[in-house]
């Protein structure tokens, strides 16, 4: 019931602000799709696929990551430092683990909403997108992983300015260096191996190759491990937060 | 009953609360007084598990407090100094959310919300978002929220700070009614008149230490019944007297404006700590 209470609040806020949420979810990806889909898509190819086919999974992974991370990180950070609503939670009888899992779920759902919007917009540019259970599972895992990271950042970081630095130095570089807009084999080998281990790379790889890759289970497994680690860390940090 | 046993809190080596011991009985209207930075809020935060205790223990009805002990948290209604309302939610939704957090059944929740909106005179604003409320209305909604789950103990941390006189009086009335309904009230304030008007027992805290404890009228009577107050050489001076006549005699010797008035808790505090409130 208390888990539902956290999600109920998220739903009320979402319902009240759905238009602005939807618009801001559409603008960025739409620009990427126009630039890389229409602009480059028909003239460039990556391996045997058109650049549009290549870039759409990257844009979906990238934006669902930044939404899942950003929504929860900023919301938790603001509710801790400015709104003080986080203190109301800590004073209430909700278990910190329940609260953490519920907030991470809320952030992940927002990421999935963004991904759905992008998919719908993507169909305007490219109809040949396969959405199967594997695609959905990978996307869900991606959203949960980055929502959990956002939760940790929201609790640990003590100012809004520092939160912007995390976005600039962690999220934005990851957006471009995890094979979202170009293949990892263009990097020197050492860098490619390092970037390969990041969760966003695993998401992009899995969304792009689907179950046709013989080692298709590897990426969801890596994402699941990331999720368990970050979720446990988030619960631990939440219990100790002041 | 809330029981503080040798409670201390240190922040980076600085002691905010020092060896604090106190027992607050069920049904009591207790006021903790002290200037800004005396340690009042730290005590409330430790009681509500927001701030870990460095040393000592706090018990509620014989059980030690802990952040994950939901049963103890159910006993508290908490009104912090600042708003903890969800500004994007309406008054009704804020209460609904609180009810859901506390696991109150749907029908009871709805009935309770109606009662509390009426109790705090917010029924007309039920569908307005909390962010649009004035300071006084937000404070009333905070009180309504803290009462949603039927707590036994109310912890109010300077609930009237920053409010105009009319709003303050309304909050006073709400606190009196809560106490009449059997709730234990633990109020922190630096408004001495508030404590004098409301509390059956007060404690005075200074530099994290409990420096005086007792009934307000008893404390005042210990300081003398009349105060002679005057402003001379850039400083306000005051002398305390048992009778009015000696105060008037002393005033005659002054070559400046003066005022003779009945003593209050502030005089007692100044006498004990040699400092004023709001410092």
Q: What pLDDT, on the 0 to 100 scale, is given for residue B275?
A: 55
Q: How confident is the model at residue B279 (pLDDT cuts 50, 70, 90)?
A: very low
SS3 B253: coil
Greater model confidence, A103 or A48: A103
Q: How confident is the model at residue A206 (pLDDT cuts 50, 70, 90)?
A: very high
Q: How confident is the model at residue B67 (pLDDT cuts 50, 70, 90)?
A: low
The pLDDT of residue B101 is above 70: yes
Question: What are the chain B neighbours of A93 within 8 Å (beta carbons)?
Answer: 70-71, 73-74, 101-103
The pLDDT of residue B68 is above 80: no
Q: Is the dihedral of CA B65, B70, B74, B78 positive or negative?
A: positive
Q: What is the mean pLDDT of chain B?
A: 88
The pLDDT of residue B168 is above 50: yes
DSSP assignment of chain A equals -HHHHHHHHHHHHHHHHHHHHHHHHHHHHHHHIIIIIIITTTT-EETTEEHHHHHHHHHHHHHHHHHHHHHHHHHHHHHHHTS-HHHHHHHSS--HHHHHHHHHHHHHHHHHHHHHHHHHHHHHH-------HHHHHHHHHHHHHHHHHHHHHHHH--SHHHHHHHIIIIIHHHHHHSSSSS-GGGS-HHHHHHHHTSHHHHHHHHHHHGGGSTTTTHHHHHHHHHHHHHHHHHHHHHHH--
Rounded Cα–Cα distance for residues B177 and A212 (Å)? 70
Question: Among partner residues A2, A13, A84, which is closest to B101 by beta-carbon distance?
Answer: A2
Residues of B near A (Cβ–Cβ under 8 Å) read 48-52, 67-68, 70-71, 73-74, 76, 78, 80, 82-89, 93, 97-98, 100-103
Which of A6, A93, A239 would best serve as a mutation to test chain B binding (most B beta carbons within 10 A)? A93
DSSP assigned state of B142: H
Name the pairing type of β-strands B226-232 and B258-262.
antiparallel
Interchain contact, B67 vs A12, CB within 8 Å: no
Question: pLDDT (tens digit, 9 = 90+) per residue, A86-132?
Answer: 888 888 888 889 999 999 999 999 999 999 998 988 887 777 778 89
Range among B172-186, B218-232, B257-271 with highest mean pLDDT value: B172-186
Question: What are the chain B neighbours of A16 within 8 Å (beta carbons)?
Answer: 88
Q: How confident is the model at residue A242 (pLDDT cuts 50, 70, 90)?
A: low
Question: Among partner residues A1, A4, A84, which is closest to B83 by beta-carbon distance?
Answer: A84
Rounded Cα–Cα distance for residues B182 and B27 (Å)? 5
Query: Which range (A151-155, A181-185, B42-46, B156-160) has the least confidence?
Result: A181-185
Question: Among partner residues A1, A12, A93, which is closest to B73 by beta-carbon distance?
Answer: A93
Mean pLDDT value of segment B155-174: 86
Residues of A near B (Cβ–Cβ under 8 Å) read 1-2, 4-5, 8-9, 12-13, 16-17, 83-85, 87-96, 239, 242
Interchain contact, A83 vs B87, CB within 8 Å: yes
Interchain contact, A91 vs B87, CB within 8 Å: no
The pLDDT of residue A69 is above 60: yes
Q: What pLDDT, on the 0 to 100 scale, is given for residue B278?
A: 43
Mean pLDDT value of segment A143-149: 97
The pLDDT of residue B166 is above 90: no
B243 to chain A, closest Cα gap in Å:
49
Q: How confident is the model at residue B274 (pLDDT cuts 50, 70, 90)?
A: low
Interchain contact, A90 vs B50, CB within 8 Å: yes
Residues whose CB falls within 8 Å of the CB of residue B89, separated by 6 or more in sequence, listed in order: A9, A12, A13, B97, B129, B130
Mean pLDDT value of segment B140-155: 92
Question: What are the chain A neighbours of B87 within 8 Å (beta carbons)?
Answer: 83
Q: What is the mean pLDDT of chain A?
A: 89
Rounded Cα–Cα distance for residues A130 and A145 (Å)? 23
The pLDDT of residue B142 is above 50: yes
Which of B42, B44, B67, B106 would best serve as a mutation to test chain A binding (most A beta carbons within 10 A)? B67
Q: What pLDDT, on the 0 to 100 scale, is given for residue A159?
A: 87
Q: What pLDDT, on the 0 to 100 scale, is given for residue A146?
A: 96
Mean pLDDT value of segment B260-276: 77
Question: Among partner residues B49, B82, B100, which is closest to A84 by beta-carbon distance?
Answer: B82
A59 to chain B, closest Cα gap in Å:
31
Q: How confident is the model at residue A41 (pLDDT cuts 50, 70, 90)?
A: low
* Order of all β-strands in the sheet with B153-157: B76-79, B153-157, B184-189, B29-33, B201-206, B209-214
Question: Among partner residues A84, A96, A239, which is closest to B84 by beta-carbon distance?
Answer: A84
Q: What pLDDT, on the 0 to 100 scale, is given for residue B198?
A: 92
């Amino acid at each position: 019931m208390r888990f539902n209470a956290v999600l109920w609040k998220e739903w009320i806020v979402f319902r009240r602000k759905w238009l602005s949420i939807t618009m801001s979810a559409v603008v960025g990806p739409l620009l990427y799709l126009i630039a890389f889909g229409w602009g480059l898509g028909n003239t460039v190819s990556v391996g045997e696929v058109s650049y549009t086919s290549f870039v759409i999974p990257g844009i979906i992974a990238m934006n669902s990551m930044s939404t899942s991370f950003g929504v929860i990180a900023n919301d938790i950070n603001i509710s801790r430092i400015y709104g003080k609503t986080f203190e109301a939670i800590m004073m209430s009888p909700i278990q910190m683990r329940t609260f953490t899992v519920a907030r991470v779920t809320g952030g992940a759902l927002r990421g999935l909403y963004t991904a759905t919007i992008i998919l719908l917009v993507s169909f305007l540019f490219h109809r040949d997108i396969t959405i199967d259970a594997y695609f959905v599972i990978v996307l869900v895992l991606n959203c949960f992983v980055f929502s959990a990271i956002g939760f940790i950042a929201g609790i640990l970081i003590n100012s809004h300015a520092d939160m912007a630095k995390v976005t600039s130095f962690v999220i934005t570089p990851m957006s471009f260096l995890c094979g979202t807009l170009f293949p990892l084999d263009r990097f020197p080998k050492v860098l490619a191996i390092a970037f390969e281990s990041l969760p966003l790379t695993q998401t992009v790889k899995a969304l792009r190759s689907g179950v046709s890759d013989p080692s298709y289970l590897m990426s969801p497994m890596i994402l699941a491990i990331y999720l368990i680690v970050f979720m446990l860390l988030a619960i631990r940090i939440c219990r100790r937060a002041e | 009953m809330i029981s503080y046993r040798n409670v201390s809190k240190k922040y980076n080596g600085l002691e905010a609360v020092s060896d604090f011991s106190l027992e607050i009985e069920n049904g009591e209207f207790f006021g903790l007084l002290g200037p800004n930075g005396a340690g009042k809020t730290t005590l409330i935060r430790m009681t509500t598990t927001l701030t870990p205790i460095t040393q000592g223990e706090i018990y509620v009805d014989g059980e030690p407090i802990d952040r994950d002990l939901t049963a103890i948290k159910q006993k508290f209604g908490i009104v912090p100094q600042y708003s903890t309302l969800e500004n994007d939610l309406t008054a009704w939704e804020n209460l609904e959310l609180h009810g859901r957090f506390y696991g109150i059944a749907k029908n009871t929740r709805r009935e309770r919300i109606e009662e509390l909106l009426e109790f705090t005179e917010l029924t007309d604003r039920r569908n307005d978002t909390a962010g649009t409320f004035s300071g006084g209305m937000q404070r009333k909604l905070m009180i309504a929220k803290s009462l949603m789950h039927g707590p036994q103990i109310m912890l109010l941390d300077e609930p009237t700070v920053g409010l105009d006189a009319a709003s303050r009086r309304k909050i006073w009335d709400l606190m009196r009614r809560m106490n009449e309904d059997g709730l234990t009230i633990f109020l922190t304030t630096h408004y001495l008149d508030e404590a004098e008007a409301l509390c059956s027992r007060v404690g005075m805290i200074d530099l994290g230490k409990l420096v005086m404890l007792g009934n307000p009228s008893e404390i005042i009577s210990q300081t003398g019944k009349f105060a002679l107050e005057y402003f001379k050489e850039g400083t306000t001076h005051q002398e305390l007297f048992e009778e009015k006549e000696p105060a008037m005699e002393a005033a005659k010797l002054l070559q400046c404006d003066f005022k003779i008035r009945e003593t209050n808790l502030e005089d007692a505090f100044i006498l004990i700590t040699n400092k004023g409130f709001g410092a």
